Amino acid sequence: MSELYELSEPASAKTRVVVIGGGYAGTMAANHLRLREDVDITLVNPRPQFVQRIRLHQLAAGTGAATADYGTLLGEGIRLVVDTATHIDAPARQVSLASGGVLNYDYLIYAVGSTGATPVAVPGAAEYAFHLAELEGAQRLRYTLADLPPAATITVVGGGLTGIEAAGELGEQGWPVTLVCGGILGPSLSGPGRRSVAKQLRKLGVNVLESATVTEVRWDSVVLGDGAVMPSEATVWTAGFGVPDLATRSGLRTDALGRLLTDETLTSITDYRIVAAGDAAAPSNQPLRMSCQAAIPLAAQAANTVLARIAGTAPAPLNQAFTGQCISVGRSYGTIQLARTDDTPVNFYVGGRVAAALKDLVCKGTVWGLRKEAAKPGWYRWLKGGNRPARLGSDEQVAVP
């Protein structure tokens, strides 16, 4: 059982590892580090509960829960600090917290995840749109929907997987939903997979606008690119993701989005004692698709990099592959889009109730896997053999003393 960590660091000869972020990546990394008994592990997270991000659309629609107790997810001895990291002082090996506390580390795993991207160029989006990238946004949407009449119109902006799942979940609950894609529906899917999703959205009464864009969000409507004003009592913005700016603010090298730049061992090119995992990592400046499918294997490999450095051995390069994408379109229908190991889709999918059941098993399996790793560190295995793009140049390698 893990314990809440009060900022009184133990006097210990153990190697101190701080993990920033308690999502899928951070939780897996912390548990995997327990392969060595001489590692003191601290997990920093702003919330006292684990958020199942892949279920936030269910929470918003009132069809499911999206949190879990860290006490069941973290292995023995891992200290949980419920706080927000505000600065990383790499030379001093310290993490400053919003509460005023400071954590010292020997190694740091940067697993801050991703957030919803609010476009500053779209008036009203920050003030009036709801986001499903974080727990608080999903809760706020849920509370708002509870106060709206049943015939209230809802607009979902963004035709990616999050937008599809949100539109399907809300449409199945009887809400009049319009999905504004900004381009094609499901751009990461194959043609057959896209048609499977579109067919079910139509059955649920979701109005899909593939070529339309939203140029303004108002409290009761949205303005489309052609100037048309469409009623919208609740607007859900799922178009694009960003990452917290902690690395940038801390003077660490990042990509254009703010993800921590690393080499192929997930080691920061700024400081070899900082290792990244999950959505906020950019290995060789070629980040993987933001997803728990990518984040969890990245986390195990990031932990292995730290463990290798503690042992004085060379860390292994990144090696993982994708299998596909699981999309729920309401509770009773889903689409499983199969993919090559490099994450490009193939023209084959599984649809219908079987796919819906498989998607739910995947959601349950992610949490089950974290619990299993907590009970038996090193249990977790991942698919390997995915193709990797071009590496960083020779001038961007990590210098390790």
pLDDT digits (tens, 9 = 90+) for 62-103: 999 999 999 999 999 999 999 999 999 999 999 999 999 999
Domains in the chain, start-ordered, CATH in brackets?
15-46+83-114+243-318 (3.50.50.60), 125-239 (3.50.50.60)
The pLDDT value recorded for residue 121 is 87
How many Å is the maximal CA-CA distance in the chain? 66
pLDDT in tens, 341-367: 999 999 999 999 999 999 999 999 999
pLDDT in tens, 18-38: 999 999 999 999 999 999 999
Q: What integer best gives the mean pLDDT of the chain?
A: 93
**Conformational region of residue 154, where left means phi above 0, alpha means psi within -120 to 50, and beta covers everything else:** beta
pLDDT score of 398 more than 70? no
Residue 9 and residue 220: Cα distance in Å, rounded?
51
Residue 110 and residue 113: Cα distance in Å, rounded?
9
pLDDT in tens, 218-230: 999 999 999 999 9
| Gyration radius of the chain's alpha carbons | 21
Residue 73 and residue 71: Cα distance in Å, rounded?
6
CA atoms within 13 A of residue 9's CA, in its CB half-sphere: 19
Residue 269 and residue 251: Cα distance in Å, rounded?
12
Q: Assess contact for 249 and 84: CB atoms under 8 A.
A: no
In DSSP terms, 155 is beta-bridged to 178, 235
Share of the chain above pLDDT 70, in %: 94
Q: Is 149 exposed, middle or buried (0-12, 13-18, 19+ CB in 10 A)?
A: exposed
Which DSSP symbol is given to 231?
Answer: E
Residue 293 and residue 323: Cα distance in Å, rounded?
9
Residue 118 and residue 204: Cα distance in Å, rounded?
28
pLDDT score of 115 more than 80? yes
pTM score, whole prediction: 0.93
